[in-house]
Amino acid sequence: MTKSPKFEPVQPVRAYQRIVEQVEDALARGDLVPGQRLPSERELVAQFEVSRSTVREALRVLESNGVVRSRPGDPNGPEILPFSSSALRKQVARLARVDELTLSELIGFRMIMDGAAIQVASRLRTPEELDDLEATLVAMRDAIDVDFAAFSEADLAFHELIARISRNSLIQTCNEVVRGVVLGLIADKVAHAANSRALMLESLHHHAEVVDAIRTGNGHAAARIARQNMFDYYAGYVPDSEQETLRALIED
């Protein structure tokens, strides 16, 4: 018996998929740039020669991928969103939709990711980068006397620097995205924290310990302190029942 040919499963290509492809191709080629607008749905109907239902199904896919955003009544048409990669934007869109039930998961994710960044950074850092880290600590100290927003910004700079030192762009983007989402979910609560000055001092102290551990090359300890700090910082915003899970993440 001759070897049986291996046939492929065939599946029809849907019209809305081809629309999605055309838009993403145009984006990849640069014919479409962030900030630009897509024609209105009815105009797209004319251009693609399909029904509006089909156009809309394609727009839903693009929207779910973070490529476009539609606003009812906007005469300019759907907006092309700024994005580095559609996967990243999609990530943002997905994460941004999660409700407070999974806030603890997001925080856990941050604890893991930030710990990873620190552990890598403690091996790869140059003396200059260590200096930069310590400069950021000073900036954080000064920011405490301004207000919480300033401190938060300095804290952001610290973690961005850590991620950069890790020389892993994916850690960078991941850290940034998740941090943004977490802050977006609890920003109002954080801003109202009554005793935020004590919290900020405590956080600063932990950050200094992290830098110390990085200086001595003890990435393991540095990551642990960072996770502890993040737990202390965010634990108040998750239900008691879920705190135990997060606390377990601190140790290793």
**Hey, which residues between 36 and 55 contact DNA (CB under 7 A)?**
38, 40-43, 49-54
180 touches a copy of itself (CB under 8 A): yes
CB 173 within 8 A of CB 158: no
Rounded Cα gap, residues 37 and 71, in angstroms: 11
Query: Which stretches of 65-126 are DSSP H helices?
Result: 86-97, 103-124
Determine if residue 167 is left, alpha or beta; phi over 0 gives left, psi from -120 to 50 gives alpha, anything else beta: left
For residue 204, the partner it binds in DNA, a copy of itself, none, with Cβ less than 5 to 8 A by kind, is: none
H or E segment and range at residue 213:
helix 196-215
CB of 145 to DNA, least distance (A): 40
Rounded Cα gap, residues 192 and 189, in angstroms: 5
CB of 60 to DNA, least distance (A): 8
* 50, amino acid identity: V
Tell which positions 116-135 bind DNA, by CB under 7 A: none
127 touches a copy of itself (CB under 8 A): yes
94 touches a copy of itself (CB under 8 A): yes
Contact residue for a copy of itself among 80, 115, 162, 207 (CB under 8 A) = 115
Q: Which residues bind DNA (CB under 7 A)?
A: 14-16, 38, 40-43, 49-54, 56-57, 59, 70-75, 77-78
